[in-house]
């Protein structure tokens, strides 16, 4: 762990701790655009910035598609602006599921009872080596195959 740093005037500055590799569900990205709930919006923006800065953020092709669909449909974001945001989010590690991944997600759905789409997300998070999956849509605190689901808005 990095040592504390003394700032001028004697204040102590603690370096930010390293975040674990974290999968961001589409709702995190959507909240960054949604001004209807300013506290959720700011939290989402902070998470995106910090995971981008530390290069610990992971998304999937599914998440990028869901983000585009939600912000253009629900938030009426201009499709060109939404496209630019998808390009920005593609700077995270992007998981591109294969047929093998889809079959594994189907098995997860069958065995654990998650929706198919949530199963794909959980499987992609695990495949990418994520310790955390940030999502508002799944059970907070649940651990699935070594991936802890966290709702950052609770």
pLDDT in tens, the chain (154 residues): 344 444 444 544 444 678 999 999 999 999 999 999 999 999 999 999 999 999 999 999 999 999 999 999 999 999 999 999 999 999 999 999 999 999 999 999 999 999 999 999 999 999 999 999 999 988 899 999 899 999 999 9
- Reduce the secondary structure of 48-95 to three states and give it as a string: HHHHHHHCCEEEEHHHHHHHHHHHHHCCCCCHHHHHHHHHHHCCCEEE
Strand order in the sheet with 147-150: 93-95, 57-60, 22-24, 132-134, 147-150, 143-144
CA angle in degrees (0–180, nearest 5) for 29-77-133: 10
Q: How far is 113 from 47, CA to CA, in rounded Å?
A: 28
pTM here is: 0.86
């Amino acid at each position: 762990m990095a040592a504390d740093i003394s700032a001028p005037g004697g204040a102590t500055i603690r370096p930010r701790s390293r975040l674990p590799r974290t999968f961001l569900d589409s709702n995190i990205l959507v909240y960054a655009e949604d001004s209807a709930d300013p506290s959720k919006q700011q939290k989402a923006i902070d998470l995106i910035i910090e995971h981008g800065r530390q290069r610990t953020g992971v998304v999937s092709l599914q998440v990028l598609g869901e983000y585009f669909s939600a912000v253009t449909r629900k938030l009426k974001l201009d499709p060109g602006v939404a496209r630019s945001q998808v390009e920005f989010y593609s700077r995270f590690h992007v998981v591109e599921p294969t047929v093998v991944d889809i079959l594994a997600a189907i098995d997860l759905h069958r065995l654990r009872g998650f929706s198919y789409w949530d199963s794909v997300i959980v499987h992609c998070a695990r495949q990418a080596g994520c310790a955390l999956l940030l999502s508002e849509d799944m059970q907070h605190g649940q651990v699935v195959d070594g991936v802890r689901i966290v709702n950052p808005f609770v």
